[in-house]
Chain A
Amino acid sequence: MNIAGHCHFKIKREDFELELAFDIPVAGIMAIYGESGCGKTSILRAMVGLDHHSGSCFTLNGVALQKGGVFIPAEQRKVGLVFQDLSLFPHLNVRENIQFAEKRNPSGNNIKRSDVLDVLAIGALLDRMPQQLSGGEQQRVAIARTLMRQPELLLLDEPMSALDDNNKQRLIPYLRQVHQTFDLPMMVVSHDLNVVTQLCDHILMINDRGYQFHDSIHQAMLSDDAETFKSQQLQAVFNTQVIDRDEAFGLTTVETPTGTTFYINGLFPKTQAIRLNIHAKDVSMSLQAPQQSSILNVLAAKVVEVKATPGFECLVVAQVGEDQIMGLISKKSAINLKLQVNQNIFIQIKTNAIVAG
């Protein structure tokens, strides 16, 4: 993993203390995930230079933004922050909001305004006032404005919190596109695990056990740290490519980097990278290959591990080729099937249970 920067923060507030150290990956979007009030926003505020916590240090692209007596204030750091409340300037229209950042950051020409307007699809909104925009549009304008800061790191605080489910889904591709187009390290703070698993690549988890970093969210789900998730939230996360489209039935076949294929609902463009989220609760298991089943995704697998959950369920980790998929089944089923490590099984996933985007 290539590193863009390193942080070591000692955050002290009246109600809590948090000390943590982590690296910022160059590639991929990093999530900071934790319950509300665990200090996620405090981390972003320290990174952007709005709050000073003595004894902390933060290096970005080889430059010490905070170290010992050095503290570069927010207005001199090339760190962009999209606030949770967006903080669009209410007296300026969209164009002026964007120009506010542009005028003050003329030197960097890496991020061009025309590209920003294109990627975020806000070219038609320039003459509107912020109050006249929908929640999703406001969010995109706030991201555009922050990009015109020419940041070397882009931070987003709960980017989906003000959006309904539909608009959340719509924002995710924009954020991915921003990451790809501008080749910018990005960190997203969220308490919403769906946002994290659908958008992000790396995860920094903050919980009552402390904090844990995982290079891959899929691996985080398989690790012991996944105990902090609810069993309903457990899922496999794959970055896949489209390999086939079935126009007649409206199905797309996608493949993981290690060669496992899945049918998913809907027709996706051939070149598109697709994130799959396969929730353990949507995966069922049988000992024989099901005959005449309605389920399209039937995969031969081998049991790797059977973990008891605090409820009346078992989490079964199954090896499918080079990939691992989790299934959440009832304890009764696990006993009926006499599931054991290394046993050969078939796992089944309904196409419309797979979250793809």
Chain B
Amino acid sequence: MIEWPDLTAFFLSFKLATLTTLILLVIGTPLAWWLARTNNRIKPLIETLVALPIVLPPTVMGFYLLILLGPNGWLGGFWVSLTGQALTFSFAGLVVASVVYSLPFVIQPLQNGFESVSPRLLEAARTLGAKPLDAFFTIAVPVAKRGFLTATVLGFAHTLGEFGVVLMVGGNIPGETKVIAIEIYNQVEMLNYAQAHVLSAMLLILAFVMIFAMYWINNKGRSS
């Protein structure tokens, strides 16, 4: 008989991934739009910075984030002066770290999506009387909808599976920073393989379903 595990860590991960994805969509959309449209010389630099989290080990990112978010770091110090709380080893700190960690998984699909929107369509919209922002929301966003779907799913799934960075900046505080990947690690450490199995399977199935749905919907959109 398998004992049903404590789901606090699971829900915390869910909350973290939702919040991170929303923030990334809000800040990532204008950035991705700019990257898709600009010929500015600093574009490759920005693209490189965005892509770094893909290749850097989580420990390296976590280390720098720890310094940045710590009470003596400029972001952490600012946060302390604002709220009186430290960013490190807090849920808020995890959100900031996750935004950085999952940045490329949201920006890149959005940028690809926007690059597939012909500039001619936006010009046509303007000649029909649509102001630039109107044309953006009524033409660019729906035409790039596959990019949005991919960005949302990848950003969410990637944050859900976060481990190393969390360990570096958030530690292991139940209900606050102990996300599902950490909980699985704990269970394995304690040789609770049954618990580890249940939690791992949940994460595996969830990731599979989300990514499968993404590919399925995107393929369906392409064939019609």
Q: Which chain A residues have a beta carbon within 8 Å of chain B's beta carbons?
A: 48-50, 73-77, 79-81, 83, 85, 87, 89-91, 100-101, 104-105, 145-146, 148-149
Contacting A81 at CB < 8 Å: which of B121, B127, B130?
A: B127
Given the contacts A87-B120, A89-B139, A100 and B128 also touching, CB distance less than 8 Å: yes
Q: Which chain B residues have a beta carbon within 8 Å of chain A's beta carbons?
A: 118, 120-121, 123-132, 134, 138-139, 142-143, 145
What B residues does A148 contact at CB under 8 A? 128
Q: A74 and B138: CB pair below 8 A?
A: no
Q: B123 and A149: CB pair below 8 A?
A: no
Query: What would be 22 A-B contacts, judged by CB atoms less than 8 Å apart?
Result: A49-B127, A50-B123, A50-B126, A74-B123, A75-B129, A75-B132, A83-B120, A85-B118, A85-B120, A87-B120, A87-B124, A89-B125, A89-B139, A91-B142, A91-B143, A100-B125, A100-B128, A101-B128, A104-B129, A104-B130, A146-B127, A149-B129
What A residues does B118 contact at CB under 8 A? 85, 87
**Which are the 7 A-B pairs with shortest beta-carbon distances?**
A104-B129, A87-B124, A101-B128, A74-B126, A91-B142, A87-B120, A75-B126
Chain B, residue nearest A150 (CB): B129
What B residues does A85 contact at CB under 8 A? 118, 120
Q: A75 and B131: CB pair below 8 A?
A: yes
Complexed CA–CA distance, A145 and B139 (Å): 15
What A residues does B130 contact at CB under 8 A? 75, 100, 104
What A residues does B126 contact at CB under 8 A? 50, 73-75
Q: B123 and A101: CB pair below 8 A?
A: no
Q: A146 and B120: CB pair below 8 A?
A: no
Complexed CA–CA distance, A306 and B87 (Å): 93
* Distance of B3 from chain A, by nearest CB (Å): 49
What DSSP secondary structure best describes chain B's contact surface? helix
What A residues does B131 contact at CB under 8 A? 75
What A residues does B127 contact at CB under 8 A? 48-50, 74-75, 77, 79-81, 146, 149
Chain A, residue nearest B121 (CB): A87
Q: B121 and A100: CB pair below 8 A?
A: no
* Distance of B218 from chain A, by nearest CB (Å): 14
Complexed CA–CA distance, A123 and B12 (Å): 54
What A residues does B121 contact at CB under 8 A? 87, 89-90
Q: A87 and B123: CB pair below 8 A?
A: yes
Complexed CA–CA distance, A200 and B143 (Å): 36
What B residues does A50 contact at CB under 8 A? 123, 126-127
What B residues does A149 contact at CB under 8 A? 127-129
Complexed CA–CA distance, A197 and B63 (Å): 73
* Distance of B84 from chain A, by nearest CB (Å): 48
Chain A, residue nearest B123 (CB): A50
Complexed CA–CA distance, A89 and B144 (Å): 12
Starting from the known contacts A75-B132, A76-B129, A90-B143, 8 additional A-B residue pairs (CB-CB under 8 Å) come to A50-B123, A50-B126, A50-B127, A74-B126, A75-B131, A100-B125, A100-B138, A145-B128
What B residues does A48 contact at CB under 8 A? 127
* Distance of B66 from chain A, by nearest CB (Å): 44
What B residues does A81 contact at CB under 8 A? 124, 127
Chain B, residue nearest A81 (CB): B127
What A residues does B134 contact at CB under 8 A? 104
Complexed CA–CA distance, A91 and B224 (Å): 11
